[in-house]
Amino acid sequence: MLRIECPCCGPRDHDEFRYGGDASVTRPAYDDPDFEAWYRYVFVRENPAGLHREYWQHVVGCRQWLVVERDTRSHTIASIRFARETRA
């Protein structure tokens, strides 16, 4: 069981959260005609054995989307931030 330290609600079990996948991919602009950019956004994933930036939503808590940095080999969590704060 992962324990995710929600910045709003404190430490919670991961099954209070919904997984949202790789947070390192960037969605192209709606009017971006570049096929390759869309292909990479939808399908291609780095899938690292190591630190992975990923989205989690605290669905049964504050409903905030978080970006969690987690090691996929040990599940050690390195950092947790609100997703809205990580937007460029």
**Chain contacts with other proteins (rule: CB under 8 A):** 1-2, 13-15, 19, 21-22, 35, 39, 42-49, 52, 54, 70, 72-75
Q: How far is CA 29 from CA 33, 38, 44, in A?
A: 9, 9, 17
Supply the minimum distance, in Å, between the C-beta of residue 8 and other proteins: 20
Is 19 or 63 the residue whose CB approaches other proteins more closely?
19
Is 50 or 84 the residue whose CB approaches other proteins more closely?
50
Supply the minimum distance, in Å, between the C-beta of residue 32 and other proteins: 16
Q: Which tokens in the block code for residue 67? A: 């970006």
The identity of residue 62, as a single letter, is C
Supply the minimum distance, in Å, between the C-beta of residue 47 and other proteins: 4
Q: How far is CA 62 from CA 31, 57, 85, in A?
A: 33, 9, 16
The C-alpha atoms of residue 24 and residue 39 are separated, in whole angstroms, by: 15
